[in-house]
Amino acid sequence: MSATDAFELDALLRDKVKLLGNLLGKTIENQYGSSMLKRIEDIRKQAKKARNGDDAERDRLLALLKTMPDDALVPVVRGFNQFLNLANIAEQQHGASWRRSDFLHDDVEQMFSSLLDRLQQKGIAGLDLSQKVADVNIELVLTAHPTEITRRTLIQKYDLIARLLQQRDDLRDGHPQLLEIEQQLASVVEEIWHSDEIRQVRPTAVDEAKWGFAVIENSLWYAVPQLLRNLDDELRQRGSSALPLTAAPVRFSSWMGGDRDGNPNVTSAVTREVLFLARWMAADLFLRDIEQLGMQLSMTAASAELRRAYPENQHEPYRACMHQLRHRLEQTKLWAAAKARGADTECEPLQEDDELLQPLMLCYHSLIEQGLDTVANGFLLDTLRRVACFGLALVKLDVRQESTRHADVLQEICAFYNWGDYKAWDEEKKQQFLLNELASRRPLIPTRWAPSAEAQEVLDTMSVLATRAGDGVSCYIISMASEPSDILAVALLLQASGVRDHMPVVPLFETLSDLEQSAPRMEKLWSVDWYRQYCKGHQQVMIGYSDSSKDAGQLAAVWAQYRAQEALSKTAQDKGIKLRLFHGRGGSVGRGGGPAHRAILSQPPGSVLGGLRVTEQGEMIRFKFGMPEVAVRNLKVYVSAVLEANLLPPEAAQPQWRERMEQLASAGVKSYRAMVRDTPDFVRYFRAATPEQELGKLSLGSRPARRKSGGGIETLRAIPWIFAWTQMRLMLPAWLGSDEALAQPVNNGELPQLQSMYAQWPFFRTYIDMLEMVISKADPAIAQYYEGRLVEAELQPLGSQLRIRLQKIRDLVLAIKDQQSLLQDNLALQHSMSVRNPYTDPLHYLQAELLYRERQDQDVVSKEVERALKVTMAGIAAGMRNTG
């Protein structure tokens, strides 16, 4: 038996996929009859045969698809789409199940334990080790970029299937409840099939925020205390002390309802509503905890301090404490609900985290004093840790705005006062003006002034931050920050709007040129005495991944990001600033995504000493954090990686490797831009060969797909740019430019150096491994089919050129890794894709056909064709396990 065969024989996973597939088949048969189920099964079997590369078999598959009547389109594509979703659920749940065959030898399960062993060998142990774990300072920022294609209604049903599969794992071997569980699974699969998988209405920014709250409510609320229990157990096994009671090595923030850059749907009113809804959700979740504790803490033995604090019930002081907290949390819910509606209320809510934390700590210490350690370290400890992680804000909100919007406000103010043309001033004059105004006691904002609607909206947002709602805001991020004046302008407007406590202002550097200039610009800012006092020696800087990749190509972007981190870290150290880098990583490789552990360890040594802040985007939130068991695994990966990066950092890159990367990046950006910017027909080809123009039919998110109407790819957001190429399987944004750049040293006989870099440099190894992964998902035959069906003949030579380049990068990756085939050492992904291909292939071919029909005459497209086209997009996204 081959290694691949051995891997495929995880019988339990196969059993789950088969069970869900059979239940789906029965549901389809019940609605449409056996002939429809047979049609779907015939297409699947033929797709499997066609996968072998036989043209005759593919022709038979295409014949089956092209002769399909319109009334069969929707059931067929829905069948394939839902099978892919169910297979994803089974795979995800199985990956966290203790029943899987490799559980005891799983790398992720052993990662933290193995790291602690290595740290102890280095002499880091005891209290020191526990404190270092507590201090890793990780913040995951949940964002609602429009990559989550699945409706929230269906996500909840998928989550239920995962829970039922886990129950089935736990009760195997003839348990009498197995039949009941399978009946429940059949019911949920039927519910899913008879629900519309495509949103009919585009979600609002508030809807997106509620989706984020649901992830916390259904998964992270349970995962966080479980994570800390796991970490505690590992530490105690090595003689170290437990983590501090309020340790929060991982916290969460959000962009949902705060990210207004290029999204006119996120207004000051939306941000205000989302902040109060988060308060309501936090109060509701804590209320559930307190009610459970009220039932649990019936003990009468208590400390004198606890009895003094709650004299009204000396017999059961713990319950007296819980009764009081329950009342305050109920008041908090009423208050937050009213505020979210814009109404006033006389309620007395909990405002500060300590108002919740201190009574719980008093109960905890009383229980310990009475020798009730087991009770204290049970559910009460879980609640304490939730308070430390989530607090009354639940999830802190980032506010993001584009830099020119602040300059526009100042331009209008200066015009009103006849101070001059602010935007025409040079940087030195702007800085002097801003610093003078920051020091002035005179109000900046005129009372008798009629600003433009755009300027008023900026000021209204800052006014929200000045209210109690603003306590839930973590920082103010400035997109396209280029000079110190961009940061000082925000600080001035925040001050003028009454925002106190020196809200952190975070510049975001995202284009190639901005990344290259980020350190010199921050050095100028940190040289301003006023600002050094404002930031109190702490600074957060955001590194953009998506736009830099779209701007310069993936190869040049990753090197620019690496160098920017190095330069920023050194400059901050020289200036005595404690720096925390914020990584705006996307979900897909083309936007900076990829396995977290490798990504963190491939960063420059010392770049995560101040902690790590990173975005988690779109559907990756659901895949990584949608189930408590899976969330615990992924959170442990983050903790392990940051701890290792700081305490066991890799060696710095050798000078000759850096020189080689400079050459590769230079060649890569030149090659990428030559195609994307300078090839006259490239944009026409892109729009013809991909469903980019049709993406607007999917109600994906509140943000428009384009920053501006019209224009080329420069106006297109990074997410639909990736989405479109993924749908037709060329995966171009992740590799274009890398092919010609890597070919140069290989053609010059310098392959051994690249192989050495791959073997010894984590940064380069991670980059090549990510290339391998994304290229393995590319399919030139499918891309060629889209082209033949959708692209006019005069543009087709361009597609042929791109497919030749795809083959070139494939060969180069194999040569650098010294492998015979892609994913040679990643059997899991190999098998995952082989299971999905017979279901995704028909969706690709049908999508190309449906695009052709729609573009031929948009006025007569049937509803069946329109709906089927949308479902193919959802199905392909599910099959590829990422959209954008």
Query: How does DSSP assign 163-224, residue by residue?
Result: HHHHHHHHTTTT-TTHHHHHHHHHHHHHHHHTS-SS-SSPPPHHHHHHHHHHHIIIIIHHHH
Predicted confidence at residue 7, as pLDDT, reads 39
Predicted confidence at residue 712, as pLDDT, reads 57
Predicted confidence at residue 679, as pLDDT, reads 94
Check residue 380 and report its DSSP letter. Answer: I
* Residue 508 covered by a domain: no
**Helical segments of 297-316, H only:** 304-309
* Residue 226 covered by a domain: yes
Burial 106-124 (b: 16+ CB within 10 A, else e): eeebebbeebbeebeeeeb
* Residue 631 covered by a domain: no
* Residue 217 covered by a domain: yes
CA atoms within 13 A on the CB side of 128: 7
* Residue 70 covered by a domain: no
Residue 313 · residue 322 · CB < 8 Å: no
Neighbours of 478 (CB within 10 A): 24
Cα(14)–Cα(81) distance, integer angstroms: 18
* pLDDT, tens digit, 9 for 90 and up, residues 540-594: 999 988 777 888 899 999 999 999 999 999 999 999 999 999 998 754 433 344 5
Predicted confidence at residue 791, as pLDDT, reads 97
Q: Which of 389, 413, 433 marks a domain boundary?
A: 389
Cα(578)–Cα(575) distance, integer angstroms: 9
The CATH number of whichever domain residue 338 belongs to comes to: 1.20.1440.90
The tokens describing 711, both together, are 């224009």
* Residue 733 covered by a domain: yes
Judged on CB neighbours under 10 Å (0-12, 13-18, 19+), 296 is: middle
Cα(424)–Cα(422) distance, integer angstroms: 5
* pLDDT, tens digit, 9 for 90 and up, residues 319-330: 999 999 999 999
Predicted confidence at residue 700, as pLDDT, reads 54
Give one DSSP letter per residue of 667-716, joined into a string.
HHHHHHHHHHTT-TTHHHHHHHHSSGGGGGGS---SS-SBSSSSSSGGGB
Q: Does the predicted model carry a pTM greater than 0.75? A: yes
Cα(766)–Cα(576) distance, integer angstroms: 31
Check residue 421 and report its DSSP letter. Answer: -
Q: Regarding beta strands 250-254 and 138-143, do their DSSP bridges make them parallel or antiparallel, or are they unpaired?
A: parallel
Structural domain including 309 reads 106-151+196-389
* Residue 66 covered by a domain: no
* Residue 45 covered by a domain: no
Beta bridge mates, 476: 399, 505
Predicted confidence at residue 1, as pLDDT, reads 26
Predicted confidence at residue 588, as pLDDT, reads 43
Regions of the chain where pLDDT drops below 70 = 1-9, 99-107, 145-150, 586-595, 618-619, 698-719, 858-861, 881-884
Element (H, E) at 433: helix 427-439
Q: Which of 333, 367, 389 marks a domain boundary?
A: 389
Predicted confidence at residue 618, as pLDDT, reads 67
Which of the residues are catalytic?
Answer: 145, 550
Q: Which of 389, 415, 438 marks a domain boundary?
A: 389
Total domains in the chain come to: 2
